[in-house]
C-alpha cells in the first residue's frame, strides 16, 4: 500500500516509517521540518514538508494514499500556549481526515494519547476510576492536549458515519527508545516512591511501530480505539502492592494479567489487532535503572 506518515521526523514517526517500509509498503513521509537539499540516503522514503493546519497542504500530501498514519502533533500541553496546542493538533487532524475521505483513502490510523481520560495534566487533579485503565474508562480531559486528542477520536467517529473510511485510534503510553530509557524510566526503577500519572506504564517505540503497521493493514470496520502499552510496568514491581502503597483504596484494582502488570490494559489490542509486544525496559536497563552496555 501507499502509506502517508505525518509527523514522520518525530520519535514515533521515524520508527513507524521504517517499520512500514520493512513490511513492504511505499511510504511518503510528511513533517514541518525543512527538507535537506542533498541526494537522499538509500532506502529513505519520499519526503514532503507540510503544515497540516493548512487544508491545502493536507490535500496535497494525501493525494494517492491508501492509508494515512497521522502522528503529527504538538506532543504535550506544557511547552506551547494552550491555544497553539489545541488549534495545531485539532485542525491538523481534521484537515488530514477530510483530505483522506475526499481523496479515497481506505484507512486512517489516528495516533491519539493515553492522556484522553484526563488525569495526566489536569488543573483540578483526580485519579483514574480503576486500574489497569482500559478503553472503557470515561474521558474527562481538561488540558488542551488531551482535549485535542479526545476530539480527534470523535472526528474518527464522525468520519465512519459519513463515509466508507475505516479508522483506528491508538493511545500510546509514554514512548521510550534506546536514547531515553535511562533518563525517563531510570528514576522509577531506582526509587519505588517515584510515580507518574501513567501508573508506571510505558511503551517501546518499536513495539508501538509494530502496532501501527497492524492498524494500517487491518480490515476492522468502523472506528476502534486501542491502548498501546508494554504488558509490564517500569521496574517490574508488584503492581497491586505499589498501587495500594501509594493510593490505598482510592483506585479500585481490577484483575491483572501478571503480577508486574502495567497500569494500562492492552487486552483489546491483543485480541482485535493481534498485537504482541516484544520489548521491555529490561532490554535497555539493569535492575538499578542504568543503561546496559550496547
Give the per-residue pLDDT at 194.
85
Using an 8 Å Cβ cutoff, are 253 and 229 in contact?
no
Question: What distances in angstroms separate CA 90 from CA 58, 169, 200, one per listed residue?
Answer: 13, 14, 28
- Torsion angle (degrees, nearest 10) of CA 52, 53, 59, 64: 30
Nearest to 125 by CA among 137, 113, 143, 111: 143
Task: Evaluate the CA torsion angle 153, 157, 162, 168 in order and state its sign.
Answer: positive
Domain ranges of the chain: 2-283
- In degrees and rounded to multiples of 5, residue 193 shows phi and psi of -90, -5
Instruction: Output 27-30 pairs: Cβ under 8 A, ≥24 positions apart.
Output: 27/2, 27/3, 28/2, 28/3, 28/4, 28/61, 28/65, 29/5, 30/4, 30/5, 30/6, 30/61, 30/72
Look at the chain and count its residues: 294
User: Quick one: angle between helices 82-103 and 55-62, nearest 10?
Assistant: 40
Per-residue pLDDT of the chain (294 residues; tens, 9 = 90+): 999 999 999 999 999 999 999 999 999 999 999 988 888 888 899 999 999 999 999 999 999 999 999 999 999 999 999 999 999 999 999 999 999 999 999 999 999 999 999 999 999 999 999 999 999 999 999 999 999 999 999 999 999 999 999 999 999 999 999 999 999 999 999 887 888 889 999 999 999 999 999 999 999 999 999 999 999 999 999 999 999 999 999 999 999 999 999 999 999 999 999 999 999 999 999 999 999 998
Give the per-residue pLDDT at 252.
98
Beta bridge partners of 253: 131
Give the fold, CATH level 3, of 2-283. Answer: Rossmann fold (3.40.50)
Question: What distances in angstroms separate CA 271 from CA 74, 132, 160, 226, one per listed residue?
Answer: 30, 17, 22, 10
Euclidean distance between CA atoms 94 and 151, whole angstroms? 10
Using an 8 Å Cβ cutoff, are 200 and 263 in contact?
yes
| For the chain, the helix, strand and coil percentages under 3-state DSSP, each to the nearest 5 | 35, 15, 50
Give the per-residue pLDDT at 210.
98
Give the per-residue pLDDT at 147.
98
Buried b (16+ CB within 10 A) or exposed e, 130-161: ebbbebebeeebbbbbbbbbbbbbebbeebbe
User: Quick one: angle between helices 11-22 and 205-217, nearest 10?
Assistant: 50
Amino acid at each position: 500500500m501507499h502509506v502517508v506518515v505525518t509527523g514522520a521526523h518525530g520519535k514515533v514517526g521515524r520508527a513507524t516509517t521504517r517499520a512500514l517500509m520493512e513490511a513492504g509498503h511505499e511510504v511518503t513521509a510528511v513533517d514541518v521540518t525543512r527538507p535537506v537539499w542533498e541526494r537522499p540516503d538509500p532506502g529513505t522514503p519520499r519526503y514532503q514538508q507540510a503544515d497540516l493546519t493548512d487544508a491545502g497542504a493536507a490535500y496535497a500530501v494525501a493525494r494517492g494514499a491508501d492509508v494515512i498514519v497521522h502522528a503529527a502533533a504538538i506532543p504535550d500541553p506544557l511547552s506551547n500556549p494552550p491555544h497553539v496546542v489545541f488549534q495545531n493538533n485539532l485542525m491538523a487532524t481534521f484537515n488530514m481526515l477530510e483530505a483522506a475521505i475526499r481523496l479515497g483513502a481506505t484507512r486512517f490510523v489516528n495516533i491519539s494519547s493515553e492522556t484522553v481520560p484526563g488525569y495526566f495534566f489536569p488543573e483540578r487533579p483526580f485519579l483514574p476510576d480503576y486500574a489497569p485503565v482500559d478503553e472503557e474508562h470515561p474521558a474527562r480531559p481538561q488540558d488542551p492536549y488531551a482535549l485535542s486528542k479526545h476530539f480527534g477520536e470523535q472526528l474518527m467517529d464522525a468520519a465512519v458515519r459519513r463515509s466508507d473510511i475505516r479508522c483506528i485510534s491508538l493511545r500510546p503510553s509514554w514512548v521510550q527508545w534506546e536514547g531515553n530509557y535511562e533518563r525517563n524510566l531510570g528514576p522509577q526503577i531506582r526509587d519505588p516512591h517515584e510515580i507518574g500519572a501513567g501508573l508506571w506504564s510505558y511503551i517501546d517505540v518499536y513495539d508501538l511501530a509494530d502496532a501501527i503497521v497492524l492498524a494500517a493493514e487491518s480490515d476492522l470496520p468502523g472506528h476502534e480505539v486501542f491502548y498501546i502499552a508494554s504488558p509490564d510496568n517500569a521496574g517490574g514491581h508488584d503492581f497491586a502492592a505499589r498501587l495500594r502503597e501509594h493510593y490505598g483504596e482510592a483506585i479500585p484494582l481490577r484483575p491483572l494479567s501478571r503480577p508486574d502488570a502495567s497500569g494500562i490494559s492492552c487486552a483489546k489490542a491483543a485480541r482485535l489487532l493481534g498485537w504482541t509486544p516484544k520489548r521491555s525496559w529490561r532490554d535497555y536497563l539493569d535492575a538499578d535503572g542504568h543503561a546496559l552496555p550496547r
